[in-house]
Amino acid sequence: MRSRNDPRVWLVTGASSGLGRALAEAVLERGERVVATARDSVRLTPLKELDAERAIVAPLDVTDPNQAVAAFGAAQSAFGRVDVVVNNAGYGLFGALEELTDDQVRAEFETNFFGSLNVVRAALPMLRVQRSGHIVQISSLDGIAPGVAGETVYAASKFATEGLCEALATEIAHLGIRVTIVEPGPIRTDFGAAADARPVEIDEYEASVGNALDWFETELVGKQPNDPRRVANAIIAAIDADEPPLRLVLGEEAVAAVRDKLGVQRSELEIWAERALSTAIPT
């Protein structure tokens, strides 16, 4: 059991670059401990070199549930527990829904949804025994308020993951395990450059998806407004809070988009409230 003065142990997926890397580095700078994971564990060597006593690395392709179990086994052997699980690994698939193949769609869900599911399932036995822990799911603004054409499947994978986490929070709260869903706007990492963007072939989608993909490539990639280190620090601050949020929206554009969406939802709810309240079986 962890004492108040005992540094926490964080397990971070997708820690070889981007937000995962920034978060792992920030945790180490605070004097806490990290189990850094990625498909290619060799790329994690610089993290281990930062502090060989407080950082270990483990290979983890989140689509492989056995590797997820093995990563928590490595954490158990090295540190005796895990306090914070950060589900960060994922990638973007962008293109017109009608043009994407079943294999492309399923691959997106295998990583973004089922990958997160695999990690959560591997974590729960340890967290349940500990009667403590925090699951942090890195989602996206697209997981709550998608507003750009061509992100249908990516958004769907994030919506599914958010539904999983929100329902799970109720299921495990009595065990002392918390859940936080992080919904950032665009972060200046290599996520955009590494995304699987499929050019439009059907002319009718050029005005929506085609223009969105052009904007994505020319106006967004490399110019994302949010700093990964500041995003990492905001996540840590939320986890440190006495009452951590279920949802953590980060970035000016994300806050504005979520406010707009909630406003529209509230307005529609009130407009249709009379009809909504008319469905009960008559008594």
Active site residue 91: no
> What is the C-alpha radius of gyration for the chain, rounded to an integer number of angstroms?
20
Q: Would you put residue 46 in left (φ > 0), alpha (ψ -120 to 50) or beta?
A: alpha
3-state secondary structure at position 164: helix
Q: Provide the 10 A C-beta neighbour count for residue 244.
A: 16
Residue with tokens 């193949």: 101
Angle at 228 between CA 223 and CA 233, to 5 degrees: 145
Chain mean position to CA 67 = 19
Q: Which of the residues 16, 116, 140, 154 is marked catalytic?
A: 154
261-to-18, 255, 257 alpha-carbon distances in Å: 28, 10, 6
Q: Provide the 10 A C-beta neighbour count for residue 220.
A: 15
Q: Which of the residues 16, 116, 139, 140 is marked catalytic?
A: 139
Active site residue 41: no
DSSP E strand boundaries for 69-224: 84-87, 93-94, 133-138, 177-184, 196-197
Q: Helices 152-172 and 102-112: crossing angle, nearest 10°? A: 30
Q: Which of the residues 16, 116, 158, 205 is marked catalytic?
A: 158
DSSP letter assigned to residue 259: H
Catalytic residues: 139, 154, 158
